[in-house]
């Protein structure tokens, strides 16, 4: 089934560090939270979030998410597009279920990957796809480069995707969503050290973990006030205490993205 390496685009996942050990020593809650949606969250639909796109292989097997920002442009993660070609990917809109056959399937005529991208943990994790077929769905607006105040610590952000519902679990057949608080850059720096590139990344999650994006959610949206402000990028495991999810900080890439959206 998900045999190919495109099935789960895994941005470098950090191994547990001394910080994790320290967290354990300080005493994690004794009862592990039951595995839940995205990880933690609820089911939703592409009717509720029409701009959430499945990014699939040519056989329509989903491996990443994306956000429709104009009828023919989709923002996703650069790491989702590594090794892909215009012929190897499709974008599927209006399909709530992975095993559905409804909605609109489009071929991709151009893949723009941020030319500075090397690895998700180095930042620059943004790509823009140009669709061959227009999507008849409501688009999302995205932050402009001056909107940097949206990332104030504690602000509620919404995450969406079909990814795994626990760290080593399986994907959700139905689109899921959850809300998570934006984490202060200083806090994310404490979690990830130099892997956290403040200019290019923003973190979101609870100190105690439990709610997060996970494998297969990459490329999908982090919305703040309904506006696309982040792109699911990487994390240490999923929903672990002390390790928030890391999202591309879209304000940094907004002008670059706009050049592609208008091209």
In terms of CB distance, is 213 or 260 closer to ligand ARG? 213
Query: How far apart are CB 217 and ligand ARG at their closest, in Å?
Result: 5
* Structure tokens belonging to residue 210: 């439990």
In terms of CB distance, is 10 or 173 closer to ligand ARG? 10
- Yes or no: say if 157 and 230 are a contact pair by the CB < 8 Å rule: yes
Mention every residue, 6+ apart, whose C-beta is less than 8 A from residue 24.
none
Q: How many CB atoms lie within 10 A of CB 21?
A: 10
Which residue among 79, 166, 172, 200 is the active-site one?
A: 79
Query: How far apart are CB 55 and ligand ARG at their closest, in Å?
Result: 10
Based on the number of CB atoms within 10 Å of its own CB, is 11 exposed (0-12), middle (13-18) or buried (19 or more)?
buried
Which residue among 218, 233, 248, 254 is the active-site one?
A: 218
- Yes or no: say if 8 and 2 are a contact pair by the CB < 8 Å rule: yes
**How does DSSP classify residue 142?**
B
125 is catalytic: yes
- Yes or no: say if 161 and 65 are a contact pair by the CB < 8 Å rule: yes
In terms of CB distance, is 13 or 105 closer to ligand ARG? 13
In terms of CB distance, is 96 or 232 closer to ligand ARG? 232
Query: How far apart are CB 213 and ligand ARG at their closest, in Å?
Result: 4
DSSP β-bridge partners for residue 129: 74, 111
The residue number with the shortest CB distance to ligand ARG is 235
147 is catalytic: no
In terms of CB distance, is 72 or 250 closer to ligand ARG? 250
Which residue among 106, 124, 125, 166 is the active-site one?
A: 125
Which is it for strands 156-161 and 89-93: parallel, antiparallel or unpaired? unpaired
CA triplet 65, 66, 72: central angle to 5 degrees?
A: 145
Query: Which residues of the shown chain bind ligand ARG in the complex (CB under 6 A)?
Result: 9-11, 163, 212-218, 232, 234-235, 238, 245
Q: Which positions are catalytic?
A: 79, 125, 218
């Amino acid at each position: 089934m998900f045999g190919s390496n495109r099935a789960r685009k895994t941005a470098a996942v950090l191994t547990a560090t001394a910080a994790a050990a320290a967290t354990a020593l300080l005493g994690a809650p004794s009862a592990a939270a039951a595995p839940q949606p995205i990880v933690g969250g609820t089911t939703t639909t592409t009717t509720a979030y029409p701009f959430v796109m499945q990014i699939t292989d040519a056989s329509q097997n989903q491996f990443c998410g994306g956000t429709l920002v104009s009828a023919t442009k989709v923002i996703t993660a650069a790491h989702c597009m590594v090794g892909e070609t215009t012929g190897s990917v499709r974008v599927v809109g209006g399909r709530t279920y992975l095993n559905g056959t409804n909605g609109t399937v489009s071929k991709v005529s151009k893949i723009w990957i941020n030319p500075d991208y090397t690895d998700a943990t180095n930042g620059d994790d943004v790509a823009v796809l140009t669709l061959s077929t227009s999507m008849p769905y409501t688009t999302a607006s995205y932050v402009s480069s001056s909107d940097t105040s949206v990332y104030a610590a504690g602000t509620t952000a919404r995450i969406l995707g079909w990814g795994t519902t626990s760290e080593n679990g399986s994907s959700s057949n139905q689109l899921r969503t959850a809300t998570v608080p934006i984490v202060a850059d200083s806090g994310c720096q404490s979690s990830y050290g130099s892997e956290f590139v403040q200019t290019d990344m923003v973190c979101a999650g609870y100190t105690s973990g439990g709610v997060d994006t996970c494998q297969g959610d990459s490329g999908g949206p982090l919305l703040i006030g309904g506006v696309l402000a982040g792109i699911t990028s990487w994390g240490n495991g999923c929903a672990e205490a002390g390790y928030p999810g890391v999202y591309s900080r879209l304000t940094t890439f907004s002008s670059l993205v706009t050049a592609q959206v208008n091209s």
